[in-house]
Amino acid sequence: MKAEVTYTDAELIEAISDGTDLNRAIQFIYRQHAEATSSFIRHYGGSEQDADDIFQDAVVAFIDVVKKGKFRMESNVRTFLASIAKNCWFNELKKRERAGHRNKQFEMSRPQDEPDVAEHINEIERKKQLRDLVDGLGESCRKILLLFYYENMTMREILYHLPYENEQVVRNKKYKCLQQLTGLIKDNPAVARQMQEIIK
Amino acid sequence: MTPEQKNVLIDHLDESLRGKASANLEEIVGNDPEAEKEWNYLRLAVDAVKEAGLYQEVSAARTAWKAEATNAAATIAAATGAASTTATATTAKVRPLYRVSLRAAAIILIITASASIYKYFSVSSGSLYDRYYSGYNLSTTRGAGDTDPVMDAYNAKDWNAVRQLAATAKTRTNQTDFLAGMACLEQKQYDEAISHFEQIIAVNTHAGTDLYQDEAEYYLAISWLARRNVNEAMPILEKIRADQHHKYHEKVERMSFFDLRLAQYKENK
């Protein structure tokens, strides 16, 4: 049987911040917290697919927050994930315009000592828009940018993964791809507006 | 800005991301508003790529997590198939020289196949429930000072009273829900028991508390077994088994996951 690593909250935060074994940390989060959070979403009218999607967003948001050093240890990981998931689901219900009765129950039962995650929820929405733009790039551009900026590979290492002649070709391709992505960002009114606000 | 100027900015960005100093960056960006704007767009683009990468990695973990249960069922399916193939093989013709030893091997195989077949037909979610269900003893796990009518009725095994008192209680707590859930289990009202235990988990998840969380998880899994739905029980039992600090970890560790997966396979057939 495959050995499964377990983490305390503090160890989990460290593993994510450190980034050396992020994949194992993510798997642990799924084993440990996915079922409880998903059952909550299902309890409030979500399908299994909804629950999975919402939990995935919550995990991404949690990792973002930890990597930026913004996770405050006064709320534990389970509570934080649950709060993010709950608020995401609440937003999703609003979007689907079928809030009605269930939302009322939901609002009334919101505890006061819950961590304030509003800022993170807005961030999730913003990042979804950015992700969509990356998905709008062609597959080769997407790959080269992911290998360089997410996997932190050098040009030489990228050569082993993608069919280019030499490092200079990879470099030129990456220039073009990144400029293509900034072009998509500038052309997207919602993202460009956010950007203007940041620049102000 | 020309594409070449943008490329110079990209080089600076890459160097700064990899911890290398870029001496004249401030000079370029600080003195040229257009360059500063472009710089911000580039940083946003890199953020977007990193976000897409993280999302992809989490997505892979999600797929793996979902596949775990499916794989377990598939393994059992393969094992069951192999057993039946081997049993069929015993009917093949044998050469006289090896007849005695092959006959002995065939007998062993037939016994093994018979045992497998018996196992296959005898294991079910219902039988697993009968094997693993044991009542919850309130008096040995909770303090004596916090008794209330629901607890008194529970200790007296008056299941009807427990359910009625819980239903009419002024404030609904995880304790009343849990005791009502256990009373439902005792009375074989599995759907109602499930609803009580799920309520506790939802409340805890929502409020960030863990009152009766471990108990609710364990007995929710047991209720799903009683309800002949191993697919629902398995993820909860797997979770408890993976959590060494869970109150019911040892109990679940002693369960036969082979039997559980076999029951799950039969259920999914």
Q: How would you class A99 by CB atoms within 10 Å of its CB: exposed for 0-12, middle for 13-18, buried for 19 or more?
A: middle
Contact state of B244 with A6 under an 8 Å Cβ cutoff: yes
Q: What is the DSSP letter of B96?
A: G
**How far, in Å, CA of B166 to CA of A164, rounded?**
70
Contact state of A151 with B59 under an 8 Å Cβ cutoff: no
pLDDT in tens, chain A (200 residues): 445 678 888 889 989 988 878 888 998 999 888 888 888 888 888 888 899 999 999 999 999 999 888 887 777 888 889 888 988 888 888 877 654 555 545 454 555 555 667 777 778 888 888 888 998 898 889 999 999 999 888 899 888 888 888 999 999 999 999 999 999 988 887 777 766 665 55
Contact state of A175 with B3 under an 8 Å Cβ cutoff: yes
Has residue B75 got a pLDDT over 60? yes
Nearest to A146 among B47, B49, B59 (CB): B49
Range of lowest pLDDT (A120-129, B95-104, B254-263)? B95-104
Q: CB distance from A109 to chain B under 8 Å?
A: yes
Contact state of B55 with A60 under an 8 Å Cβ cutoff: yes
Nearest to A131 among B7, B51, B239 (CB): B51
**How far, in Å, CA of A149 to CA of A130, rounded?**
15
Taking CA–CA distances from A106, the nearest residue in chain B reads B206
Torsion of CA B130, B136, B140, B143, to 10 degrees: 170
Has residue B268 got a pLDDT over 50? yes
The C-alpha of A31 sits at a distance from chain B's nearest C-alpha, in angstroms, of 6
Q: Which CATH architecture is the domain A9-116 placed in?
A: Orthogonal Bundle (1.10)
This prediction's pTM: 0.55
Nearest to B222 by CA among B137, B141, B132: B132
Nearest to B61 among A23, A148, A149 (CB): A23
Q: CB distance from A32 to chain B under 8 Å?
A: yes
More reliable by pLDDT, A112 or B103: B103
Chain A residues with CB-CB distance to B199 below 8 A: 43
Chain B residues with CB-CB distance to A35 below 8 A: 235-236, 239
Chain A residues with CB-CB distance to B204 below 8 A: 36
User: Which amino acid is present at B91?
Assistant: T
Q: How would you class B219 by CB atoms within 10 Å of its CB: exposed for 0-12, middle for 13-18, buried for 19 or more?
A: buried
Range of lowest pLDDT (A23-32, A95-104, B18-27, B164-173)? A95-104
**How far, in Å, CA of B141 to CA of B226, rounded?**
24
Nearest to A82 among B54, B59, B206 (CB): B206
Nearest to A26 among B58, B203, B208 (CB): B58
Contact state of B48 with A185 under an 8 Å Cβ cutoff: yes
Domain boundaries, chain A: 9-116, 136-199
Give the A window 120-139 contacts with B, CB below 8 Å: 127, 130-131, 133-135
Nearest to B206 among A31, A60, A109 (CB): A109
Has residue B151 got a pLDDT over 80? yes
User: Which amino acid is present at A7?
Assistant: Y
Contact state of B52 with A60 under an 8 Å Cβ cutoff: no
Has residue B91 got a pLDDT over 50? no
More reliable by pLDDT, B125 or B180: B180
Contact state of B58 with A56 under an 8 Å Cβ cutoff: yes
Could you give phi then psi for residue A11, rounded to 5 degrees? -65, -35
Contact state of B61 with A186 under an 8 Å Cβ cutoff: no
Q: CB distance from A146 to chain B under 8 Å?
A: yes
Nearest to A35 among B7, B56, B236 (CB): B236
The C-alpha of B25 sits at a distance from chain A's nearest C-alpha, in angstroms, of 18
Could you give phi then psi for residue A76, rounded to 5 degrees? -80, 170
Q: What angle do CA A11, A12, A14 make, to 5 degrees?
A: 65
Per-residue pLDDT band for B145 (boundaries 50, 70, 90) equals low
- Cα distances (Å, whole numbers) of residue B83 to A111, A127, B110: 55, 51, 10
Contact state of B242 with A195 under an 8 Å Cβ cutoff: no
The C-alpha of A30 sits at a distance from chain B's nearest C-alpha, in angstroms, of 7
